Structure 1
Amino acid sequence: MNIALESLAASKLKQEFQFQLIHSRLYLPKFNHYDASVIVIHAAMSWRKFPALLALKIANWSTPILYQEHHYSREFVRHCVANPSRFKLMLKLGYALVDKVLTVSNPQADWLVDFCQLPESKIARVGQAKELSSFMAVAKIRRHSPLRLAAYGRLTKQKGFDLLIKAIAHFPDTDVTLTIAGDGEEKEALQQLVEHKSQVSFIGEIDDVSTFLSTADAVVIPSRWEPFGLTCMESVAAGKHVILSAIDGLAEQLPNPDERIGFEVIEPLSIKGIIEAIEKVSNESDLGVSESQRLATEQAWENMLQRWRQLLAEYK
């Protein structure tokens, strides 16, 4: 079950709405009727899932269906889609079966308007967030020597960790170290890039992200695509300096240029771009985002819940 929907169902909204979480892969068509005021789907749209989605629509014809688009974005298409026209057709057919498409960031919503000609009336810009109290509790630390960088997430092409590891090799281990948390299909390939250097360490999946971040000087997010980018929100809430690519939902989380204390943008997203961004951070004596930025990030959870409240109230 998706963490985002689990968090929503466990939030204070449960006092106003009754949630029932059902795990379904949508691979086989099942004409199950659900006794619900509204159905929310959180699964990546695909041709393979289309028959199951059609069956769900037919079996629940009078029930509004909301689809949370958490998977696709403008940069996803650029990096992963060989036939954009066919991909666009798949999205249009899928979205035609739902009443609303819920987006996790404004850049993603804007892309759907441009790419799929999706009308604004079909979109609900609910955004993405999480409860961040454990991250807000992370205390500010003095910069380490060597500089301690952290990166975390699924070890996949999307996250750009291959570029990061190659960039780290440019620095002596007396200047910079990198700890990577997470697991995924690219784990072995990434470990081979490291070879036998102690400068980069892999610690596998972690349960306590805030504790992981507490010992880092900065977090690197070199993602190739990111519909939202929850790692950035978590890192900012923890007060950490953030080195990130300005793409998709990550770009939305960047403050205005004159207010970017604690942010270093990777431009362009390349090995060279990452090296230059790390060099700039290495020259900083005081690292971290501002306290006002941390507080603004903490408020994002309440703001998102309010948008969900307004949306669900339409179907009560």
Structure 2
Amino acid sequence: MIRIAHLVDDTTAGGVTRYLDFLRQDPQMARIADHQVCVVPRHAPARAGIDADMIVSHLAITWRGLPGLMALRARHSGLPLVHVEHSYSEGFTAANVTHRTRFHHLLRCAYALFDRVVAVSAAQAGWMERRGLVRAQALDVIPPCVDLAPCTALEAPRGPVRVLGAVGRFETQKGFDVLIRAFRSLPDPFLRLALFGEGAARAELETLAAGDPRILFPGFTARPEEAYAACDAIAMPSRWEPYGLVALEANAAGRPVLMSRVDGLKDQAARGNTPVTELSEEAWTDAIARLTEAERPEIDRSLATARPTRDGWARLVEDLLGENEGERLAQTA
């Protein structure tokens, strides 16, 4: 059995952790390889004892961490080394990076250490290609996934959208501040906005919502399907979003998504979701009004599946290990 070591430096609850749980536990993924999660020092991953046929980095790339990646490449020069880019995207760069030439140089240096770089969305891959961050032949697109069974088991809501939900960390990235201001501008007393999550911006968001009893903060739930079950539709006003697992889960649950037209969210409109072209209070007020006053958008739940993830990893493993795998494993047994 092929052994793949997935390197992380943080195992707190979040999209990456849930994705790795899927890779480890999904029966079809288990036919591709034995996926093991290895927790490594943030800036010195080469110090960890790694016994695998392929190494996959899920680490955030930084200048401080670059020497550690170089050491990882040197120590495991005979193994395929892959990086999955969870953090950076065109939207992230626009919102957070001042010295973009320097930032792009960092990414080019880091990505060059890997045999393959995996983008989590076609939009992210397009940004990498336009900026010349990675060689085209070394770039793959594999969308992440989680266990969708609890969401697909939910009955799709019927009738007009009355409860709009938002699911995720309470941080600047998610744009929940814009969502609250936009929702408050709507006069309908029967609408509800439920924000599921926790984070550093909670106090700020509660202050923005103060005085509007229609806006609820149910808190974080370890079972996301419970959040989707309580809502008719989901809002994702993200400032950047390399992929956006919430959109995939919401669609699997039969819930339409009102989303920013940014990064990987652009890839997910094909399932029947509604992009909002501008992240402003006015644009989102108008979009929410249209969503709640019109017929519910038809969501193609059949497109919200794990198949692209499984197929992507199968192709990558075959490309990197398939040709001479039997002979190579025999030599190292």
Task: Give the alignment's TM-score, normalised by structure 1.
Answer: 0.91
Say whether the 8 Å CA contact 1:104–1:228 is kept in structure 2: yes
The reply to whether residue 289 of structure 1 matches residue 298 of structure 2 is: yes
What is the 5 A alignment of 1:72-91?
Answer: 72-91=88-107
The alignment partner of 1:240 has SS state of: coil
Structure 1 residue 30: deviation in Å?
4.2
Look up the match of 2:40.
24
Distance 1:50 1:87, change over 3 A: same
The alignment partner of 1:21 has SS state of: strand
Look up the match of 2:289.
279
The reply to whether residue 40 of structure 1 matches residue 56 of structure 2 is: yes
Match of 2:316 among 305, 308, 311: 311
Say whether the 8 Å CA contact 1:33–1:59 is kept in structure 2: no
Name the CA distance, whole Å, in 1 between partners of 2:32 and 2:303: 26
Say whether the 8 Å CA contact 1:73–1:225 is kept in structure 2: yes
The reply to whether residue 270 of structure 1 matches residue 280 of structure 2 is: yes
Match of 1:141 among 157, 160, 175: 157
Structure 1 residue 101: deviation in Å?
0.4
What is the 5 A alignment of 1:49-88?
Answer: 49-88=65-104
Look up the match of 1:102.
118
Name the CA distance, whole Å, in 2 between partners of 1:144 and 1:215: 14
Name the CA distance, whole Å, in 1 between partners of 2:199 and 2:176: 11
Structure 1 residue 18: deviation in Å?
2.2
Distance 1:180 1:25, change over 3 A: farther
Structure 1 residue 29: deviation in Å?
6.1
Look up the match of 1:243.
258
More deviation in 54-63 or 230-239? 54-63
Q: Which runs of 5+ in 1 are unaligned?
A: none
Name the CA distance, whole Å, in 2 between partners of 1:164 and 1:126: 30
Amino acid across the alignment from 2:276: I
Say whether the 8 Å CA contact 1:31–1:59 is kept in structure 2: no
Amino acid across the alignment from 1:168: F
Structure 1 residue 163: deviation in Å?
0.2
Amino acid across the alignment from 1:87: F
More deviation in 239-248 or 134-143? 134-143
Look up the match of 1:183.
198
Distance 1:302 1:142, change over 3 A: closer
Say whether the 8 Å CA contact 2:104–2:133 is kept in structure 1: no
Name the CA distance, whole Å, in 2 between partners of 1:88 and 1:55: 21
More deviation in 243-252 or 115-124? 115-124
The alignment partner of 1:220 has SS state of: strand
Amino acid across the alignment from 1:287: R
Look up the match of 1:165.
180
- Tell me the matched-pair count: 305
Name the CA distance, whole Å, in 2 between partners of 1:30 and 1:267: 43
Name the CA distance, whole Å, in 2 between partners of 1:29 and 1:8: 21
Deviations 1:55-91 (A, max 9, x none): 2112112111100001111111111101101101111
Match of 1:193 among 189, 198, 208: 208
Name the CA distance, whole Å, in 2 between partners of 1:216 and 1:272: 23
Look up the match of 2:242.
227
